Structure 1
Amino acid sequence: MHPAISVIFFTVMSGAGFGFMAMIGLGWPMPQGPLSAFLICFLAGGLAVIGLLSSTFHLGHPERAWRAFSQWRSSWLSREGVLAVVTLMLFGIYALVWMTTGERIGALGFVITILSLVTIYATSMIYAQLKTVPSWHSNLTPVCYVAFGIASGLVLAATFGAKHGMMGNMAALFAGLSLMIAWGAKALWWSHADGVGFSQTGSDTGTATGLGHLGKVKLFEKPHSGENYLTKEMMHQVGRKHSKKLRRISVILGLLIPFLMAALSYQFGGHGLFMFIGFISMIAGLFAERWLFFAEAKHAVSLYY
């Protein structure tokens, strides 16, 4: 699949934003004061909104994006949009109360946490539902998306709440554990993606052309002399050598460096600067991971071409 920058930015940034909202909703200890509450909530909501807005750049007609909300009964894309709007509205109320009264409403925060995680899940299902892409069509896809959302949210929450966190510098410990769990799930996803193919889904050149009932089908040449929309969007070649290199880069940036920063934060009493560096590195690693998520995916239409 063609790795569109707008979609990569959307999935990474919105996941981090809603993951951070989930931690705030859980009541993660944060600096007190109206200005701190505003800046923290603005960052969480801003990440989610920027991510969602970036996804519209991949649409042929961004001005028609609002129409997607009407298809929530059948479309995960529409459900994700509806859930995101509802979550952001409730989070706005939560933030307003927090800024004006200093109180963080526990019940409302819990609802926001659940909705934030469900929103990330809905984003993942946009891809996990596609039987035409065997590597995506797995229960591990939503597990990875949600795990990365929680991990990025925890790392960012530890940036602000490390010194005020649960049992002091334990915030960094929770962040480190979440990183290990998220990347452990991703390792399982990669193992699954490397082993699954079209044969497991029952698809081959015969089913792609509709001529399978005549016998074994072979393509002598491509059906088109030049590129078209399908070859540009649904087919992307990435060398195995480059793929392995990018996987290593994503693990170094997304796991090893943030985990090291979490360990340093834990060692030095929950210093937020280490966690901030870890968060920036993690986002860079997730960009590499998400680029591979799309670039390595093989759509069934490639059987025809």
Structure 2
Amino acid sequence: MHPAPSVIIFTTLSGLGFGLLTYLGLGLPDVTGLTALVFFVLAYGMAVGGLLASTFHLGHPERAMKAFSQWRSSWLSREGCCAVGALLIMGLFAFGAVFLGAQWRFLGLIGAALSLMTVFTTSMIYAQLKSIPRWNSAWTCAMFLSFSLAGGALMAGQVGVAKPLLLIAAIIQLLTWYVGDRAFGEAGSTVGSATGLGERGSVRAFEPPHTGSNYLLREFVHEVGRKHALKLRVIGFGLAFALPLLLLLAQPESTGLKHMMAAIAVLSHLAGVACSRWLFFAEAEHVVGLYYGKR
């Protein structure tokens, strides 16, 4: 798949933003006043910024509102409904925490649940696609949720929770790569199945379907060198999990140094997740590539 910057920004920022909203809704940290305002501005900035970035990938952004009406059958529509619900509920919760010094726990729990549901529905947009075997797995949902919970814990300053969640997210990432690398071959798609001529015998491409490019090739066929993919996996894994864990495990005596290391851990994780998301799209092989002889 073509790794469009807008979708990478969307999946990276919205996951972390809604992850932070989940912890704020649970009272982790239990903050009010100006401190709460800082946390909510950060969470809303990432969540809303990510959602807005996703609209740049739409062919007709002016029709985005129509997506909300298809919630019975569309995961994209369900994502939009959950996102709006989470932002509205958490907005009320934030108002109470910032201006009234009140923690309306019932609203917080509902907002936290809707925030996690938003991340889940986002993951299902990709996990449901049988035409992309690498994504068509429960591991896709596990990866999105684990990234959101681990990153949200980091940003919420919940070090005790962030350590095991980062480790779990790291293991899930490795398993996602392991399963994904074998998914296309195990799906059984071939040139014969792509062209519908498989029943007549062995099929091979004689010439490309056409001499120029088209929408399918631009959007669904992207080739990344195996050497580059391995290098990016190491960089993404190191930044997203290894370095943040090392920084969290270090226990400097200085409070200022401890806060600085925590900030570096958050920035490192953000950069690593962005790298992982780029690979998530770049390595995804659509079965239409078989028709064009791209596998």
Q: Could you say which TM-score interval applies, normalised by the shorter chain?
A: over 0.9
Aligned match of 2:13: 13
Any residues of structure 2 matched to 1:18-97 within 5 Å, and which? 18-32=18-32, 34-97=33-96
Structure 1 residue identity aligned to 2:119: I
Q: Which amino acid aligns with 1:205?
A: V
2-structure distance, mates of 1:255, 1:268: 24
> Gaps (5+ residues) in structure 1?
159-170
Query: Percentage identity across aligned positions?
Result: 48
Deviations 1:140-197 (A, max 9, x none): 0000000000011000001xxxxxxxxxxxx323212111111110111011011222
Post-superposition shift, 1:35?
1.8
Pairwise CA distance, 1:56: 0.3
The alpha carbon displacement at 1:273 in A equals 2.5
| Residue aligning to 1:302 | 289
Instruction: Please tell me whether the aligned partners of residues 191 and 198 of structure 2 are also in contact (alpha carbons under 8 angstroms).
Output: yes
SS at match of 1:196: helix
TM-score (norm 1): 0.92
Question: 1:11/1:267 Cα in 2 relative to 1: closer, same or farther (>3 Å)?
Answer: farther
C-alpha separation in 2, matches of 1:151 and 1:266: 22
Residue number in structure 2 paired with 1:191:
178
Calculate the aligned-residue CA RMSD, in Å. Answer: 1.5
Deviation for aligned residue 1:27: 0.8
Matching residue's letter, 1:3: P
Q: Which residue identity does 1:17 align to in structure 2?
A: G
The answer to whether residue 276 in structure 2 is matched with residue 277 in structure 1 is: no
Matched letter for residue 117 of structure 1? L
Q: Quote the residue 1:103 is aligned against.
A: 102
**TM-score, L = length of structure 2:** 0.95
Q: Does 1:236 align with 2:210?
A: no
Q: Aligned to 1:255, which of 233, 236, 241?
A: 241
C-alpha distance in 2, partners of 1:64/1:245? Answer: 39
In the alignment, the residues of structure 2 paired with residue 70 and residue 244 of structure 1 have an alpha-carbon distance, to the nearest angstrom, of 41
Helix, strand or coil at the partner of 1:119: helix
Tell me, in whole angstroms, the C-alpha distance in 2 between the residues paired with 1:61 and 1:190: 33
Corresponding residue SS for 2:81: helix
Aligned to 2:188: 202
- Alignment length (residue pairs): 291
User: 1:266, 1:25 → 2: CA distance?
Assistant: 30
Tell me, yes or no, if the aligned pair for 2:20 and 2:152 is still in contact at 8 Å.
Answer: yes
Query: Aligned equivalents of 2:25 and 2:260: distance in 1?
Result: 23
1:45–1:194: structure 2 CA closer, same or farther, 3 Å change rule? same
Deviations 1:272-304 (A, max 9, x none): 332211111101001110000000110000010
Q: Of the candidates 257, 262, 280, which is equivalent to residue 293 of structure 1?
A: 280
Q: Mind listing any 5+ residue stretches in structure 2 that lack a counterpart?
A: none
Deviation larger for 74-83 or 270-279: 270-279
Once residues 251 and 106 of structure 2 are traced to their aligned partners in structure 1, the CA distance between those partners, rounded to angstroms, is: 31
Query: Secondary structure of 2:156's partner?
Result: helix
- Aligned-pair distance for 1:30? 4.3
Question: Given that residues 134 and 284 in structure 2 are in contact (C-alpha distance below 8 angstroms), is that contact kept between their aligned partners in structure 1?
Answer: yes
Deviation, 1:268, is 5.5
Shift of 1:263: 1.7
